[in-house]
Amino acid sequence: MFLHDLFDWTNAGVGAAGLALTAGAFWQATGAKKAAQEARDAVWKREAASSLAEIERIAAEFAVWVELERPKEAAVRGRDLAARIPRDRARFERFLNGDSDKLRLLESVYADLAVQVFSTAFLEDKGKLQAAIEDVNAANRELNEVYGRLLGRLDEEES
């Protein structure tokens, strides 16, 4: 009888130890899942910043081509912006917060400017050229603000 009771108590002890190990493994898995989610979000935010940096570079080239009165090159860069902004805006929308609407507006501004710059009257009318330069610079400033806010949020989260 004593052996039978000892066997039951041993089984109960092993079962309790197994339950404790399972609970510990579950607790660690939950922590690992949270860490993985945070790492994934950090990578996405960095990629969003990188994409906006590339858009900002293209926008700067667009401004240079407009100022140099090179309508074909400017139109290509304007179309690049009009194509790239919606893709990246949709891809990183949850990290952009309210700036997603601002990018939607900038997308249409750059598309309109690309068409305007490519028109034949662009080089002939200095008033249109100056207006286009001002519009491009204003759009670039707004794009820089969006990029700056994203970088600011990244810096806040890292601290």
Q: What is the pLDDT of residues 58-91, one digit of tens each?
A: 999 999 998 888 888 888 898 899 899 999 998 8
CB of 136 closer than 8 Å to CB of 97: no
Q: Which CATH number fits domain 39-158: 1.20.120, 1.10.287, 2.60.120, 1.25.40?
A: 1.20.120
User: Taking the domains of the chain in order of start, what are their residue ranges?
Assistant: 39-158
Residue predicted with more confidence, 4 or 91: 91
Which alpha helices (DSSP H) does the chain contain, by range? 2-67, 71-91, 93-96, 99-118, 121-124, 126-158
Question: For the segment 25-57, what is each residue's pLDDT rounded down to a tens digit?
Answer: 667 767 777 777 887 887 888 888 899 999 999
Cα–Cα distances in Å, from 144 out to 5, 46, 84, 135? 76, 16, 16, 14
Phi-psi sector, 70: left (phi>0), alpha (psi -120 to 50), beta: beta
Q: How far apart are CA 82 and CA 59, in angstroms?
A: 10
CB of 147 closer than 8 Å to CB of 141: no
